[in-house]
Amino acid sequence: YRVYISQGLVTIQQIGAKYAPIGANNDPTNLNRNWVPVVTNIANELGGLSMNCEVMGTGEFALPTGSMSITSNFGYRSDPFGGGTEFHKGTDFACSRGDAIYAADGGQIVVSVKSGYGGGYGHHVIISHGDKFTLYGHMEHVDVDVGDTVQKGQKIGTCGTTGSSTGYHLHFEVQLGGIYGERVDPMTYFQPAKKEEDE
């Protein structure tokens, strides 16, 4: 807790940058470059990180889609467009064409791309929440403009498959330190659904 969690280092990528920094003087054969992907694979095989807490998320964000059906998590994954692995900078939520996309929290629209490739994000929106930003990618229609103020849960567009996408879904990111800045695991900002008690 003292060395990592208390300093906001809670993801494997964040911890790896401190625990096994790439290019460290005491790592002449560059073994540290393997630490994050290897530990990520082990954690995923065991069911993912739990953070050893009863509550996994802060409950700060509302769901940006109608359900918490996740098709691709934050972190290393097989590249859907070719061989090898890639670092997935967000969480993909399942949705169908035309489904509403909602603001996860209140804030101001700072990016609104309504056409084109959008750097791979396609039609997308970024909302500033003051200390962080949320990105909503691959939308079919964007209903908001730069400068608009939105409320938590307000519809901002519809589900699509624009940009670099293999099918209908919402790519959702949390960014720190500026627009398109450091990406962190979005799931730490959601409150997981409580399991129903057995009857």
d(CA 164, CA 101): 18
- For residue 45, is pLDDT > 90? no
Q: Are 174 and 108 within one domain?
A: yes
* Same domain (yes/no): 94, 38: no
Q: Do 15 and 94 belong together in one domain?
A: no
Query: What is the pLDDT at residue 114?
Result: 97
Is the pLDDT assigned to residue 10 strictly greater than 90? no
Q: Which residues of 45-82 are buried (b: 16+ CB within 10 A; e: fewer)?
A: eeeebeeeeeeebeeebbbbbeeeebebbbbbeeeeee
CA 108/CA 139 separation, integer angstroms: 18
Residue 47 has pLDDT above 70, yes or no: no
The reply to whether 158 falls in a domain is yes
User: How far apart are the C-alpha atoms of 166 and 134, rounded to whole Å?
Assistant: 21
Question: pLDDT (tens digit, 9 = 90+) per residue, 89-121?
Answer: 999 999 999 999 999 999 999 999 999 999 999
What is the CATH number for 116?
Answer: 2.70.70.10
Is 60 inside a domain boundary? no
Range of the structural domain that residue 172 is part of? 70-189
Whether residues 21 and 109 fall in one domain = no
Can you spell out the DSSP letters for the chain?
-TTTGGGT--SHHHHHHHHS-TT-TT-TT-GGGGHHHHHHHHHHHTT---TT-S--S---SPPSSSS--EEE-SEEEE-TTSSSEEEE-SEEEE--TT-EEE-SS-EEEEEEE-SS-GGGT-EEEEEE-SS-EEEEEEESEE---TT-EE-TT-EEEE-B--SS-SSSEEEEEEEESSTT-EEE-GGGGSPPPPPPPP-
Determine, yes or no, domain membership for 110.
yes
Q: Is residue 156 part of a domain?
A: yes
97 and 167 housed in the same domain: yes
93 and 17 in one domain?
no
* Mean pLDDT, residues 10-25: 86
pTM of the model: 0.68
pLDDT digits (tens, 9 = 90+) for 152-195: 999 999 999 999 998 999 999 999 989 999 999 998 898 654 43
| Same domain for 155 and 101 | yes
Q: How confident is the model at residue 56 (pLDDT cuts 50, 70, 90)?
A: very low
Do 79 and 13 share a structural domain? no
| Same domain? 110 vs 17 | no
Higher pLDDT, 132 or 56: 132
Query: Terminus-to-terminus CA distance in the chain, angstroms?
Result: 37
Instruction: Give how many domains the chain has, as a whole number.
Output: 2
pLDDT score at 52: 47
Same domain, 104 and 172: yes
